[in-house]
Amino acid sequence: MTELATALVALIEPHPGRAVAFNRWYERDHFYSAVMAGPGVMSGARWVAPRAAKATRIGNGLFGNPDGASFLATFWLEPGGQARWDEWVPGRMSELVEQDRMFTGRDHVRTAVYERAWEVQSPSGPPIDVALDRRYAGVIVLAVDREVAGDLGAVEDWHRELVAAVPALDVSVGLTQLRLVLSVLADPAEDPERHALLLAFTDDDPVELWRDEVRARAVEFGAIGFGGPFLATVPGTDTYVDDL
């Protein structure tokens, strides 16, 4: 059975005045040529945080400036797929550089490889393996500082309590970092494995759900290094891109 084993998660901020160009480059070229075309990739999706979404974020600076990271890209890889993709991607990136198909007008706030640790479903939620193909309205991202939370078990327990209290979080996954790929904030060779990353998918308006039902619980938990909602991008359009 094909299932989510590892995830590639990228938080990206386009340079001022380059958001439209970045959005079109990433969705029409890079999304496919640099990730989806690689071996072992099951699915992918892109998300965006307009100003209203970013204004509700919380955190302690774990992912840097909370006003950054306007775009999120998530990719699921099957068991054994990460090693094959890792072997493939350096050559592919060299080809894209030679073809002048790399867009320099953006910062990778954080791009990392994660390992699936657990999933949590509402009573009607699907398996996490199909979440990116489900085309949810949005995703709520929570980076939980494990040093503050106590241990990974405490993070999982709180995550399960959260979904039980907020069933509109249809399906979500707990991820642990395997390695940092690149970041404008840290040296990948020195990046500490400090956080667990929770991605919670919803059909409701993610900004309203976060503001009305999730944010206060996250603040009370007290271990959130980064937290906030993202909306699904609308492929083939520049929806939300003029409101970052």
Long-range contacts of 150-159 (CB under 8 A, 24+ apart): 152/117, 152/176, 152/196, 155/196, 155/198, 155/223, 156/117, 156/118, 158/221, 159/118, 159/120, 159/198
Check pLDDT > 90 for residue 8: yes
pLDDT at residue number 16: 95
Measured CA to CA, the distance from residue 82 to residue 131 in angstroms comes to: 19
Is 146 part of a structural domain of the chain?
Answer: yes
pLDDT in tens, 50-67: 999 999 999 988 888 878
Check pLDDT > 90 for residue 224: yes
Q: How many CB atoms lie within 10 A of CB 129?
A: 20
Is 21 part of a structural domain of the chain?
Answer: yes
Is 164 part of a structural domain of the chain?
Answer: yes
Q: Considering the entire predicted model, what is its pTM?
A: 0.96
pLDDT at residue number 63: 84
Check pLDDT > 80 for residue 193: no
Is 140 part of a structural domain of the chain?
Answer: yes
Across the chain, what does the average pLDDT equal? 94
H or E stretch including 52? helix 51-54
Give the domain extent around 24.
6-243
Is 1 part of a structural domain of the chain?
Answer: no
Of the candidates 134, 210, 144, 207, which has an alpha carbon nearest to the alpha carbon of residue 177?
144
User: Could you tell me the CATH number of the domain that includes residue 26?
Assistant: 3.30.70.100
Number of separate domains in the chain? 1
Check pLDDT > 90 for residue 218: yes
Check pLDDT > 70 for residue 34: yes
pLDDT at residue number 148: 87
Is 176 part of a structural domain of the chain?
Answer: yes
Look at the block and give the residue holding tokens 């078990």.
153
pLDDT at residue number 190: 65
pLDDT at residue number 189: 61
Is 35 part of a structural domain of the chain?
Answer: yes
Instruction: Provide the b/e sequence for 215-232 (b: ≥16 CB within 10 Å).
Output: beebeebebbbbbbbbbb
Is 200 part of a structural domain of the chain?
Answer: yes
Query: What percent of the chain shows pLDDT beyond 70?
Result: 97
